[in-house]
Amino acid sequence: MAKTLLQLHEGVSPDHYDLAIKKNVFQKFWHWRRFNELSKITTPVNGKIVDIGCHSGLLTQKIVNWTGADKIYGLDISPKAIEKAKKRIKNGYFVVGDAQKLPFKNNFFEAAFCIEMIEHVDFPQKVLAQIYRVVKKNGYAVILIPTDNLLFKVIWFIWNLRYPVWKHVHVQSFNGTLLEDMAEGLGFKVSLVKTFSLGMLKLVKLKK
């Protein structure tokens, strides 16, 4: 029987990203590029932000530093990862949940971040709709996705051979402007689109 999304992601250790950055040169560079590009487009926030798909909070901590937000919220499907995030960021609010049905009030956040997560869900448009719902007017959202270009597909294939725990976790492919089109259809305005890492990753910044 096929594993559920939760079962697949529970197979990834809460320490995975911390250890990968320390021990794997490729991973260290991959994440450094992500952090660097994200820091360039993240603008200061006076209020609350949310990291959707926060895992253990490694990137969440950096987002807090970049934005200077008063309060950080994080959501992830993995209970183990959320426990790690709570220990990492003592004054944050972290919850286990489904990104397709966010447990937050309407117009609650000044900004939302969804970093290499939306390709893991069955209904990405629901995630975008939820982000639109919880972000305040004039707030912003930052989405990062793999482009699934040829180079990414080759590397991802090799990666899955080396680390089979990642097999089957990508259930969506965002070719062309599919993500931007979805977001605009919900009412977002696309304020920035940037590809990097040899075209393998795409950053999209949205304004409500």
The residues spanned by each domain of the chain are 5-207
pLDDT tens sequence across 79-97: 999 999 999 999 999 999 9
What's the whole-number average pLDDT of the chain? Answer: 88
Residue type, 61: Q
Q: Give mean pLDDT, residues 167-181.
A: 82
Which pLDDT belongs to residue 12?
A: 64
Give the CATH architecture of domain 5-207: 3-Layer(aba) Sandwich (3.40)
pLDDT value at 52 more than 50: yes
CB 75 within 8 A of CB 53: yes
Which pLDDT belongs to residue 1?
A: 34
pLDDT value at 147 more than 70: yes
Which pLDDT belongs to residue 128?
A: 98
Which pLDDT belongs to residue 163?
A: 67
Higher pLDDT among residues 200 and 166, named by residue:
200
Which pLDDT belongs to residue 154?
A: 81
DSSP 70: S
67 pLDDT band, cuts 50/70/90, is very high
Which pLDDT belongs to residue 2?
A: 42
pLDDT tens sequence across 149-162: 788 778 767 766 77
pLDDT value at 58 more than 60: yes
Sign (positive or negative) of CA dihedral 208, 59, 30, 165: negative
| Beta pairing class for 48-52 and 109-115 | parallel
Percent of the chain with pLDDT over 90: 66
Which pLDDT belongs to residue 118?
A: 94
pLDDT tens sequence across 91-142: 999 999 999 999 999 999 999 999 999 998 999 999 999 999 999 999 999 9
> Which parts of 104-176 are beta strand (E)?
109-115, 135-146
